[in-house]
Amino acid sequence: MLKLAQIYNKRIDFKILSPIIGILLVGIALLVFFIGSQLEDEIHKNIDEVIAQNNSKIVTAFSFTNNLMLEHLKTSMNVLKNEYLKQGEPSVGSSVQVGNEIVNDINFGNTPQALKFNSVDVIKNYNGGTATLFTRKGNSFYRISTNVIKDDGNRAIGTQLDPNGKAIKEILNNQSFYGIVDILGQLYLTGYEPIYDNNRNVIGIWYVGFKLTLLDELKKTIAETRILENGFIAVFDMNDKMIFNSNHIADEKYKEIFANGLELSHEVWDHSVTEYKDWNFKIIAAASMSDIDDYVDGFKFMMLGIALVVVIGLTGIIIYTINKTVVRKLKILTSAANQLALGDSDFKIDVTSEDEIAVLENSFNTIAESYLDKSSAAQKIAEGNFDVDIEVKSEKDKLSQSMNKMISTIKELVHEVKVLNTAAIEGNLSLRGTEDLFKGEYKEIIRGMNTTLDSLLTPINEAVNALEFLSKGDLTVRINSDFRGDHQKIKNSINQVSTSLHEAMVGVTEASNATASASSEISSSAEEMAAGAHEQSSQTTEIARGIEQMTKTIIETANNVTRVSDSAKKSGKIAQHGGKVVNDTIIGMNKIADVVIHAS
């Protein structure tokens, strides 16, 4: 079951087929049940028809036999009567013993007939029929002449006519009787006519009968007849004695079947009882309900077997069709979906039909084309080409809308950067990007650029301010803010320049003061002083030239703040040069002092 469940979960054809097969099986079961019910009714109907036909055929055979033999019987009766009446009129004769009975003889003319057999044997010789002359004793009748032979080989004289039979009843009512009777255990088609004396009193009976040999073929046919497997036909005589029956059922079984009489259980037998009234025979034809059930069940199983074969065949056809028209294409679509999942949209599915799968295939192709277009656009964007316009398929095409928005935002961002770049090139370092035009990380980019510019401009502005103070002769200015990296180097260079200049100017001032105090000595030694003054003048000129060069350097540093690092290095060199000039000046001043001292 687990394996089937796993297969079911992995196979779409199983998922498609399962409800179809389920519906087919339920439909087949219902159909088989319905057909089975209809078949059962039809079988009962057909069996009833078969039973009715069989009974009708038997009745027809009885009727034909009766009509044929009855005509023959009446002819034989006339022959018998003529044999006796040609001897004279009938009358009651003297007492005579026949067998164990003493009865009245019957005379025809003057001839007694008891124990005389010539007349009855005429019938036997004529057509093989049986003939008997009965005499009356009270309301009973006894055979005094007959050609009927008993089992012991003797004539059945002295035997009594069945006192309960139909024949005696008719005779006592002065009526003739023609019909089936049991004579010594044998069935005969018989004729009984009363014998009257001259006073119209019944004194005896003429009897002619034929054994029902014409029914032997019918008996044989019935013996070989069966209805379904265990069904049968049985014929009962006027005494409800079974005389004909299907011989595939044992006598003991028949006794069991008819243990409660001729009425059969409808739960066990589907049967019909037909009566042939001329003979008072009953024909019972029955089919076993178990046979019908077995036949119906067999038919149902056969139908189920055929249905299963059909279902299996249809299943195979459907599986083949589904695999060819659905599963194979779904595998192609699955592969395409996997390609899309991996970012590969460079494919095209061949559409070979116009069904729902074809619609899905076209949709996949459309998706792939859309992804390919967007991928191409993204590639151009990645390469810096923003001249891209992505088609928006619908209001819900958020990807295309977002990409177009991204392109627009990047263009605006590039524009902002270009504006800032142009401003920086033109020396307008106060211009900033407009952060409110952007959102999210784009806004952070502009904010970061503004912050970077602020971070760059702060040390530059302080450096410019410091240099402006230096250019105005304020050599005490210092940059006190904390900076990092190259900004710290700029700060240190400017502070070092300022310190160097300040120290140089202090030295110059001190030298000047020393010169002033020795001016009187200078005037007394004019020639030497003139020579020293000439040398001092040369050195002073050199100092002034150094200071002028230093001032130019400061101004150059202020004008090239964008190259602060290089300027700082250059300023360091100039400061070192200025220091050297100051030192030279101090040396010169010392020489002047020495000259003054020497002159004095």
- In order, the DSSP letters of 450-486 are HHHHHHHHHHHHHHHHHHHHHHTT-TT----S---HH
Q: What values do phi and psi take at 85, rounded to 5?
A: -70, -20
> Cβ(72)–Cβ(80) under 8 Å?
no
CA atoms of 148 and 167, how far apart (whole Å): 17
Asked if the structure places residue 159 within a domain, the reply is yes
Asked if the structure places residue 553 within a domain, the reply is yes
pLDDT in single tens digits along all 600 residues of the chain: 556 566 656 666 666 767 777 787 788 888 777 887 787 788 878 888 888 888 899 999 888 888 888 899 999 999 999 999 999 999 999 999 999 999 999 999 999 999 999 999 999 998 889 999 999 999 999 999 999 988 899 999 999 999 988 899 999 999 999 988 877 677 889 999 999 999 999 999 999 999 888 788 888 999 999 898 889 999 998 888 898 899 999 989 988 888 887 778 777 898 889 998 888 889 999 988 888 888 888 888 888 888 889 888 888 887 787 777 777 777 787 888 888 888 787 778 888 888 878 888 888 788 887 777 778 888 888 888 878 778 887 888 878 888 888 888 888 888 888 888 898 898 887 788 888 888 888 888 888 888 887 777 777 778 778 888 878 878 788 888 887 888 787 778 888 877 887 787 777 677 667 665 655 554 454 455 445 545 544 554 554 464 455 546 544 544 544 444 454 444 444 434 444 543 554 465 455 446 444 544
> Cβ(133)–Cβ(156) under 8 Å?
no
Asked if the structure places residue 190 within a domain, the reply is yes
Model confidence, pTM: 0.51
Q: What is the pLDDT of residue 133?
A: 98
Asked if the structure places residue 23 within a domain, the reply is no
Residue 305 makes CB contacts below 8 A (sequence gap 6+) with: none
Q: What is the pLDDT of residue 172?
A: 96
CA atoms of 338 and 324, how far apart (whole Å): 21
The torsion of the CA quartet 190, 193, 194, 197, rounded to 10 degrees, works out to -130
CA atoms of 549 and 555, how far apart (whole Å): 10
CA atoms of 455 and 482, how far apart (whole Å): 12
Q: What is the pLDDT of residue 585?
A: 44
Q: Which of 148, 182, 215 is the last residue of a domain?
A: 215
CA atoms of 451 and 29, how far apart (whole Å): 83
Q: Which residues span the domain enclosing 211? A: 65-215
For helices 564-599 and 440-471, angle between their N-to-C axes, nearest 10 degrees:
10
Q: What is the pLDDT of residue 167?
A: 92
Asked if the structure places residue 406 within a domain, the reply is no
Q: Which of 156, 188, 215 is the last residue of a domain?
A: 215
What domain count does the chain have?
A: 2
Asked if the structure places residue 426 within a domain, the reply is no
Asked if the structure places residue 543 within a domain, the reply is yes
Q: What values do phi and psi take at 42, rounded to 5?
A: -65, -40
DSSP H or E run through 95: strand 90-98
> Which 3 state secondary structure label does DSSP give 187?
strand
Q: Which of 164, 194, 215 is the last residue of a domain?
A: 215
> Cβ(62)–Cβ(276) under 8 Å?
yes
Residue 5 makes CB contacts below 8 A (sequence gap 6+) with: none
Q: What is the pLDDT of residue 175?
A: 96
Extract the runs of DSSP E, i.e. beta strands, from 129-260.
130-137, 140-146, 177-183, 186-196, 202-211, 232-236, 242-245
Q: What is the pLDDT of residue 538?
A: 57
Number of residues that make up the chain: 600
Closest C-alpha to 441, from 479, 406, 402, 399: 406
Q: What is the pLDDT of residue 576?
A: 47
> Cβ(481)–Cβ(459) under 8 Å?
yes
Q: What is the pLDDT of residue 452?
A: 81
> Cβ(262)–Cβ(242) under 8 Å?
no
Q: What is the CATH number of the domain that holds 200?
A: 3.30.450.20
CA atoms of 106 and 406, how far apart (whole Å): 144
Q: What is the pLDDT of residue 371?
A: 77
CA atoms of 85 and 117, how far apart (whole Å): 15
Asked if the structure places residue 579 within a domain, the reply is yes
